[in-house]
Each structure stands twice: as structure tokens, then as C-alpha cells.
Amino acid sequence: MDTKTDFYAKSDSNSFPLAEKLEYYVEADGLLNSLIFQQQEDRGETEPTDTTVAGQSDYAHASRLHNTKWLKINYGNGFIPARYKPEADLIAQYGNELDGVLTSWPASSPIYFTKRGKDFVYPAPTAAQAGANRLKRSVELLPPDLDRASNATPTLVPVNFHYLHSAYAAKKWLDRDDPLWAKANEAWTEGVPLMLDTMYPRARQAEVVMGVPDDDGSEY
């Protein structure tokens, strides 16, 4: 992969150090894995429930979380959808008063935000409101192939398209006015849709289906 990157960028280990290349490889891998994951029909959707604790707002994400589709909390009278509100927006709106605002946030209209691998839900339940299975989330989990705990080099990208990591690294490293940038960018922009079409050939599948005549029973 490093040799291919040097080919695109006309670089070497001195001008384009391996550590810098690795940063771009990881970035490219994240982008490509996300694109592949979006095409998969089985996205590992699940709806786990958690026990809420009195006075506690933070609840850890599921392992291999890709995204949270919705979050609901039960304060004792049934589940209520919590509205996602980024912490940055809350800080901008309430400033130094935010802690007090969150403490007194109405249970009739809960909110949540995400940071450091946790969902922070407000208001936190009281002792009377907390209980087993009172927090429910609909989540999409990354495939086991992307579990870094069991796979040292997690990737969904087929081996014959690993050159895309090199093309991406080269185009990120090169200046846009460099003629080599255009070549590396072309390899990336043309290669990504080709990879997806190769892995998920829906158009070709549709053509095959269209070419098969309907069975009208006339042969029986």
C-alpha cells in the first residue's frame, strides 16, 4: 500500500512519512467502510433496553455502535421519545446556566446528546422514576468485521480495491494545483463507485430479472 501511495504521489518515505500515510489510510478506511455499510441490507439493527439509575444521566453505547436511530425513556408513565439536541447547541443557548437548566428539564419533553461513547439523557430520573428496562434505544451496529477488539486490521474493503486507500492518501497529501493530485483524485472518484457496483450490483441484477420472460404457463 505504501509503494502504491508513493506511485500516486511520486513521494518516498522521507518526503511522505509512514506515520502520516497511516493517518490518511485510517481516514479513507472509515469513509469506505461507511459507504459499504450503507449498502448492506442487514445493518445489525437492534433495540436494547437499559436500567435507569436515580440521578444518572449518562448511559454507555452498545459495542460496535454505528448510530442511534432513536432513544426513549420511561419515567414511570410509559416511554417518551427523547429529542436529540447537540451539547454545543445547549451551551450556545444557555451558557453558564446550562447545568441548572438540565437539572430542571421537564420530564414531559426529554432530550439527549452524545459524547465520549455515551448518551446523556435529561432530566435524570428520580429514585421513584428509575427502574429496569426504562431506557430503550434503536441502534445500528457495525459488522463484526469492524470490531477492533477481535480484528487487528478491520476493513470491509475488498483486497482488489485497497489501492483506494493509497489514492486517497496521495490526494490528501498533494496540493490541488499539482497535476498528480488530479490523477490520484480520479483514481479515488472512479474507484469508489466501481467498488460499490462490484459488491452490490443491483443494476445488473435488475437487468437479469428484466431479461427473464414471465412464466405464463403456456409450456405446460
- Which tens digit of pLDDT belongs to each residue from 94-106? 999 999 999 999 9
Query: What is the value of pTM for the model shown?
Result: 0.56
pLDDT score at 205 = 44
- Choice between 140 and 106, residue whose per-residue pLDDT is larger: 106
Which residues does residue 111 pair with via DSSP β-bridges, in sequence order?
83, 122
Question: Domain extents for the chain?
Answer: 2-40+151-201, 45-142
**CA–CA distance, 29 with 22 (Å, rounded to integer):** 10
Quick one: average pLDDT of 177-184? 94
Residue 143: half-sphere exposure toward Cβ, Cα within 13 Å:
15
Instruction: Fill in the amino acid letter for 66.
Output: H
C-alpha cell at 31: 469513509
> Cα-flanking dihedrals φ and ψ of residue 78, to 5°?
105, 165
- Choice between 192 and 212, residue whose per-residue pLDDT is larger: 192
Tell me: pLDDT of 127 over 70: yes
